[in-house]
Chains A and B, each alone.
Chain A
Amino acid sequence: MSILMIFRVALRAIWRNKVRSLLTALGIIVGIAAVIAVIAIGTGAGEQMKTSINSMGNNLVMIFPSSMRMGGASMGAGASNTLTAEDGEQIEKDLPNLVAGQTPMVRASAQVIYGENNWSTSISGVGTGFPVVRGWDVGEGSFFSEDDIQTGRRVLILGKTVVDNLFTNGENPIGKSIRVKNMSFKVIGVMERKGSNSMGQDQDDIVVMPYTTVKRTIQRSSFNNVNQLLVSLYDMDDLDEAKAEMTSLLRQRHRLGAHKEDDFNIRDMTEITEMMTSISSTITILLGAVASISLIVGGIGIMNIMLVSVTERTKEIGLRMAIGARPWDILMQFLLEAMTLACVGGLIGTVLGVVGAKAVGNIQNWPILITEGSVLISFAFSAFVGIFFGFYPAWRASQLNPIDCLRYE
């Protein structure tokens, strides 16, 4: 008998016991739906974490000045003032294959005033590499130029939150003058809206200026050290190599002898990314495992019903054997029946799981992510459950003795 015909026989047997088949499949339906929904919600949460971490910058490596020792006394983190914007430029120049961009970062905070409105915000003094490094473009107007940096021109770019608070009547801020520390600065651009970062901080509450302007005009400093260098790598796989290259370059530039400690620290986001993704994947695996148990329970339900079905149809098995069914034909008939139950259950469960995950995502406002992979794996798993739990009853049926079957009452 061809597989297709055996399949038709199996389908008919399922159809004849509609209620029983539905209840049996229900175990698989619930199991698959639970697995799909849990994985969708779990992966969604993980993706959201990754996105929010990535929003801090593209493949970001941060270089901070480190503590400095003066005669044995540590001066605390950030005490050394040897890290300069030139260090960053040299890194970009020397490692063109690794570094996509870099910017120095000088931080200050100040009150900004336009007309009757004022707003206290943080000021970031950066270089022209800032949009590339942070993956954050200017929405309106333009970013400042290398020339603006050289001359320390009083230009600035506003974050959306600052615009919202200063230009309350909806004026176009480009070209306007605003006052910072009693000096007049020209607005040349507005950054795109970025939203809040993974810590819930509003990233749009910012004013961006050339780092030279912040250094000289806001901080009135005569030093040229910076708070931080942000370096963006092409590929995070090169992280270790890039770190080593940058370390040796900076040690050389800072004229550190072989026995001296680094006067800088290189940090990257991988630790925090790894931690967060490992938390979310652990939770996903845990919940997925719990959901899988219900799938196994569903499988046992199928096995149970198939054993009943084999017993019930002993006479039919005997007749089929008498008219020429081989043990293989009988095995396939019951195996396909179990598999069909499991697969139909898997299909319904997949639909319910996707719909359920979306519903929960909408109600709770959780991000959900349904990947083809998770759907395919769950579906394949339901087919596997069908084969695994259907095999024993089907095998038992195939090994029955035709005479005993025909006599069975």
Chain B
Amino acid sequence: MLIEIKDMYKTYTLGETTVNALGGVSLHVDYGEFVAIMGHSGSGKSTMLNILGALDTPTSGSYKLDGREVSTMSRNELARFRNQKLGFVFQNFNLLPRTSAVEQVELPAFYGGCKLSARARRARAIELLTMVGLGKRLYHTPAQLSGGQQQRVAIARALMNDPPVILADEPTGNLDTKSSIEIVTFLQELNAKGITIVMVTHEDDIASYAKRRIVMKDGKVDREDDPRLGEKAV
């Protein structure tokens, strides 16, 4: 089992009221899955993704990824964990301004203790960019790339350290329909190569590219199905 979330709570205190962003969620994701997490705003899907991404820690409950308990890690351990095990794809791409595509893609390797030589790092970045179809735009800065191209740079960056999981937070939210389909198809191709993908989205047609759909409501998993087969209540 790749991701094991058990009985997870995340509580925010806003003045005197406490809000349960997550209210006892349990979730399993196996190797090679393509999961779409859906839900209305306030359903807890963003909190869920933040915790999955080791960007946030749960109030209680356990989160194991690849057999390791994440919820008790220190800040430094979390940083290393994110670097090695996760690749992030964001709604607004989050590329560094005025930095070439190749350098963007190399970035995760810098923080990984630098196992690769400078030349190997560059070669891998070029290979990844070629794979996402940007082999001719290696040295373009974000301002010189379209939204779809920027998101592809971000995907190449997410793949740099060969993580087992890619977390995509509304990856098509800022893209037109054509680019959206391009990106989600690309994620599907990556999934076919064995990379596990967890994607948050609110668009049904984007979610339909996933193998499994999880709908969240009020901090819990409401229902779960395979979008390709039909609905199945939990």
B101 vs chain A, min Cβ distance (A): 15
Contacts of A329 in B (CB 8 A): 79, 111
Q: Is A326 an interface residue (CB 8 A)?
A: yes
Indicate if the CB atoms of B84 and A406 lie closer than 8 Å.
no
Interface 0/1 of B146-168, CB less than 8 Å to A? 00000000000100010000000
CB proximity of A127 to chain B, nearest CB, Å: 78
Given A319-B96, A406-B90, CB of A324 within 8 Å of CB of B114: no
Whether A1 and B96, one on each chain, are in contact in the complex, defined by CB atoms closer than 8 angstroms, is no
Give the CA-CA distance A402 to B161 in the complex, in Å.
Answer: 20
* Proximity string of chain B (50-78) to chain A, C-beta cutoff 8 Å, 1 when within and 0 when not: 10010110000000000000000001100
Contact residues, B101-116 vs A (CB, 8 A):
107-108, 110-112, 114
Which chain B positions have C-beta within 8 A of A325? 79, 111
> How far is A329 from B110 in the complex, measured between Cα atoms in Å?
10
When chains A and B are docked, how far (Å) is the Cα of A343 from the Cα of B56? 37
Report the separation of the CA atoms of residues A1 and B109 in the bound assembly, to the nearest whole angstrom. 8
Q: Is the CB of A328 within 8 A of B82?
A: no
Select B75's contact among A319, A320, A327, beta carbons within 8 Å.
A327
| Cα(A321)–Cα(B111), bound, Å | 9
What does the 1/0 interface line of A256-270 toward B look like (CB < 8 Å)?
000000000000000
Q: Is the CB of B114 within 8 A of A1?
A: yes
B88 touches A403 (CB 8 A): no
Q: Bound complex: CA of A220 vs CA of B143, how far in Å? A: 103
Task: Say whether B88 contacts A323, CB under 8 Å.
Answer: yes
Residue of B50, B79, B90, B94 near A324 (CB, 8 A) is B79
Whether B82 pairs with A324 at a CB distance below 8 angstroms is yes
Give the chain A neighbours of B157 by CB distance below 8 A: 323
B118 (CB) vs chain A CBs: closest residue: A5
Q: Does B80 contact A (CB under 8 A)?
A: yes
Chain B, interface residues (CB within 8 Å), range: 20 to 34
A359 to B185, CA, bound (A): 70
Inside 8 A of A255's CB, which chain B residues have their CB?
Answer: none
Does the CB pair B53–A326 fall under 8 Å? no
Chain A residue numbers with a CB within 8 Å of B94 are: 315, 318-319, 322, 406
| Inter-subunit contact A323/B90 (CB<8 Å) | no
Known contacts A16-B98, A326-B76: A320-B111 contact under CB 8 Å: yes
Instruction: A2 to B110: give the CA distance in the assembly, Å.
Output: 8
| B53:A322 contact, CB within 8 angstroms | yes
A316 neighbours in B (Cβ, 8 Å): 96-97
Q: Tell me the smallest distance from the CB of B216 to a CB of chain A, in Å.
A: 18
Evaluate whether A403 and B50 lie within 8 angstroms (CB atoms) in the complex, with A16-B98, A315-B94, A322-B82 already known. yes
Number of A-B contacts (CB under 8 A): 59
A residues 142-174 with Cβ under 8 Å of B? none
CB distance from B87 to the nearest CB of A (A): 8
Contact status of A323 and B82, CB under 8 A, knowing A1-B110, A2-B114, A16-B98: yes
Q: Find out whether the CB atom of B96 lies under 8 angstroms from the CB atom of A321.
A: no
Give min CB distance, B200 to chain A, whole Å.
13
Q: How far is the CB of B23 from chain A (nearest CB, A)?
A: 19
Considering the complex, give the chain B residue whose CB is closest to the CB of A402: B55
Q: Majority SS of interface residues in chain A?
A: helix
Chain A 1-14, CB-CB to B under 8 Å as 1, else 0, gives: 11001000000000
| B191 contacts across to A, CB distance below 8 A | none
**B98 CB contacts on chain A under 8 angstroms:** 16
**Interfacial chain B residues near A328, Cβ < 8 Å:** 76
In the complex formed, the residue of B with least CB distance to A1 is B110
Q: Is there a chain A Cβ closer than 8 Å to B83's Cβ?
A: yes
Cα A325 to Cα B111 in complex, Å, equals: 6
Contacts A319-B94, A323-B82, A325-B79; A403 near B55 (Cβ below 8 A):
yes
Which B residue sits closest to A316, measured CB to CB?
Answer: B96
A105 smallest CB distance to B (angstroms)? 77
Residues of B within 8 A of A322 (CB): 53, 55, 82, 88, 94
State the CA gap A307–B76 with chains docked (Å).
24
Known: A323-B88, A323-B157. Contact between A5 and B110, CB under 8 A? yes
Find the B residue at minimum CB distance from A5.
Answer: B110
Could you tell me if A326 and B82 are in contact, using CB atoms closer than 8 angstroms? no
Contact A321 B79 (CB under 8 A): yes
Which one, B76, B97, B108, B114, contacts A323 given CB within 8 A?
A: B108
Q: A323 contacts B55, CB within 8 Å? A: no
Q: In the complex the two chains form, what is the Cα distance from A321 to B83 in whole Å?
A: 9
Chain A residues whose CB sits within 8 angstroms of the CB of B161 once the complex forms: 324
Per a CB cutoff under 8 Å, which of A315, A323, A403 touches B107?
A323
Give the residues from 41 to 96 in chain A that come closer than 8 angstroms, CB to CB, to chain B.
Answer: none
Q: List A residues 347-368 near B (Cβ within 8 Å).
A: none
> Which residues of B come within 8 Å of A, CB atoms?
50, 53, 55-56, 75-76, 79-80, 82-84, 88, 90, 94, 96-98, 107-108, 110-112, 114, 157, 161
The 4 closest A-B pairs by CB, nearest first: A324-B83, A324-B111, A326-B79, A319-B94
Given contacts A16-B98, A318-B94, 17 further A-B pairs with CB under 8 A are A1-B114, A315-B94, A320-B107, A320-B111, A322-B53, A323-B82, A323-B83, A324-B79, A324-B82, A324-B111, A326-B75, A326-B79, A327-B75, A329-B79, A329-B111, A402-B55, A403-B56
Residue numbers of A with Cβ under 8 A of B are 1-2, 5, 16, 315-316, 318-329, 402-403, 406
24 intermolecular pairs with C-beta atoms under 8 Å apart: A1-B111, A1-B114, A5-B114, A16-B98, A316-B96, A316-B97, A318-B94, A319-B94, A320-B107, A321-B79, A322-B53, A322-B55, A323-B88, A323-B107, A324-B82, A324-B84, A324-B111, A324-B161, A326-B111, A327-B75, A327-B76, A403-B56, A406-B55, A406-B94
